[in-house]
Structures are given as C-alpha cells and as structure tokens.
Amino acid sequence: MHAGSPFAVRATVFLLAVAAIVLAFVAYREKAELADTRTQLNQANSEMTQAKADADANKAQVTSLQTQVASDGTRDTALHGQLVAAQAQVTDFQAQVAKAQAAQADLRSQLDAAKSQSAGLQSELGRANDGMADVRKQLDQANAHAVDLQAQIDKAKSDAANPPPAAAAARALPVSATFEKAFLRRTYTMHVRNQGSGPLAINITVDGGAVKSATVNAGATYDVSDLNAGSSIVVSSDGFEASNLTVK
C-alpha cells in the first residue's frame, strides 16, 4: 500500500502549504483592496460632505445675494420715488417762479399806470392851482371894485346930505389922459393919471355908453382899452368940471 508513504504525505503537506499561502495572499490582497476601497469611500464621503458644505455655503451666498438684490431693488424703488418727488417739487417750484414773475410783471404794469396817473393828477393839480390863482386875482379885483363902489356910494350920500353952494364954481379935474395905440391893431388904450394929492373917484363914458367908475389913488393910473380912433370920452368926478376927450 502506497497511501501512507512519506513522499505522498510530504506532497500533500506541500500542496496544502502552497494552497494556504495562496489563500493567505488572496485574503491579504482582498483585505488590502477592501481597505483601499474603504479609504476611497471615506474620501468620497468626505469630499461629498465638503461638496455639500460648499453647496450650502454657495446657497447661503446666493440667498444673501438675492437678499441684497431685493434690498437694492427696494432702495432703487425708494430712490426712484424720491426722484419722482424731487421732479414734482422742481415742476411746482417752476410754476411758482412763473407765477411770481407774472405777478411781478403785473405789479410793474400797475406801478407804471400809477406813475402815469400821478403825473396826470399833478398836471391837473397845477392847472387847478393856476385856475385858483386866477379866481383869487378876479376876487381881489372884484373886492377892489366893490370898495370903489362903496366909496362912490358913501361920497354920493355925503354929497346928497351936504350939497355944495349953487354959486360955487366947479374946479378943474386933476387928471391927465394919454392915448397909446395897440401894436399891430387899430385900437387905443387911454391912460388916466390922478395928479391930485388924494384918491379920486372918476366916471368915464365912451361915446355916451355905459359909465365905468373907478377910484384912482394919488399918482396912480387907470387904463381903458379897446378904444377906437375918434371916439368921444367924458371923464368926470363929483365937484370937478368934466373933461371931454377924443381918441386920436
């Protein structure tokens, strides 16, 4: 029997040893590959975790950017609103300026009209003052004439109360008369001068017309104008001889 021979046992042991070595090598290799695979898996998990963290960070950044964009949009909207309000204020201010300019032009027009009216009023006032001066002059002349008439009336009353003696001779009238021809006209002016020492009431008639009465102070002259050449003049005064004159 060859079954239990030493060679066969050795061969079997050798084969078993080789198989064990092969199996051990295979097991080591598989274990090494498994460890390497686990390492790669752990690295992949770490990378995935990092990628997820990066993704979360990017998401947070995107959210922040979106928030900023929204905030910028809100700020832009607010700025646009402020711009619109500012433009409205500018338009309103321009309208107020135009209104103020129109009011200023109206005030200037009113001022010019007031100046023109004031000048007209001043002119009318000057004419009124001139008219008042003329009225005062006429009033003074009327008063003087009234005084003359009153003096004549008083003298007539006195003469009537104390008539002169019938035999008393009339005295010569103490007046002188000269005639002056108007320039470029055919009329004359008579100048009657009182040569006496006191006031003299005289009466003058022209061609038998209305009597002109006046009181002439001593040395003063009384004028009668618009006389025609050849007219007959009678100058008289109570108590004196009448003087008959002819214009020439």
Residue predicted with more confidence, 97 or 181: 181
Question: Which pLDDT belongs to residue 128?
Answer: 76
Question: Which pLDDT belongs to residue 166?
Answer: 45
Residue predicted with more confidence, 243 or 3: 243
Percent of the chain with pLDDT over 90: 29
Which CATH topology does 165-246 take?
A: Immunoglobulin-like (2.60.40)
Look at residue 246 and give its three-state secondary structure: strand
What does the alpha-carbon distance between residue 248 and residue 237 come to, in Å, rounded to a whole number? Answer: 23
Please report, for the chain, the start and end positions of each structural domain, with discontinuous segments joined by +: 165-246
Question: Which pLDDT belongs to residue 167?
Answer: 39
- Average pLDDT (237-241) is 93
What does the alpha-carbon distance between residue 34 and residue 44 come to, in Å, rounded to a whole number? Answer: 15
Query: How much is the CA Rg of the chain, to the nearest whole Å?
Result: 74
Tell whether the model's pLDDT for residue 19 goes beyond 90: no
Question: Which pLDDT belongs to residue 226?
Answer: 92
Cβ contacts of 139-148, under 8 Å, gap ≥ 24: 145/214, 147/215, 148/201, 148/213, 148/214, 148/215
pTM higher than 0.75 for the full model? no
CA angle (140 as vertex; 215, 217 as ends), nearest 5: 25
Tell whether the model's pLDDT for residue 202 goes beyond 70: yes
Per-residue HEC secondary structure of 45-85 comes to: HHHHHHHHHHHHHHHHHHHHHHHHHHHHHHHHHHHHHHHHH
Question: Which pLDDT belongs to residue 224?
Answer: 94
When mean pLDDT is compared across 68-77, 88-97, 173-182, the lowest value belongs to 68-77
pLDDT tens, residue by residue, 104-144? 888 888 988 888 887 888 888 888 788 888 878 887 887 88
Tell whether the model's pLDDT for residue 100 goes beyond 50: yes
Question: Which pLDDT belongs to residue 62?
Answer: 72
Residue predicted with more confidence, 212 or 122: 212
Q: Phi/psi at 194 (nearest 5 deg)?
A: -80, 115
**If you average pLDDT over every residue of the chain, what do you get?**
85
User: H or E element: which one contains 98?
Assistant: helix 6-161
Question: Which pLDDT belongs to residue 163?
Answer: 55
pLDDT tens, residue by residue, 26-56? 878 888 888 888 888 888 788 888 878 887 8
Question: Which pLDDT belongs to residue 2?
Answer: 47
Nearest Cα residue to 173 out of 153, 151, 149, 192? 192
pLDDT tens, residue by residue, 141-184? 878 888 877 888 888 777 666 655 543 456 899 999 999 998 88
Q: Which residue has the tokens 């008539």?
A: 163
Kindly provide the b/e burial profile for residues 43-79, where b requires at least 16 CB atoms within 10 angstroms of the residue's own CB: eeeeeeeeeeeeeeeeeeeeeeeeeeeeeeeeeeeee
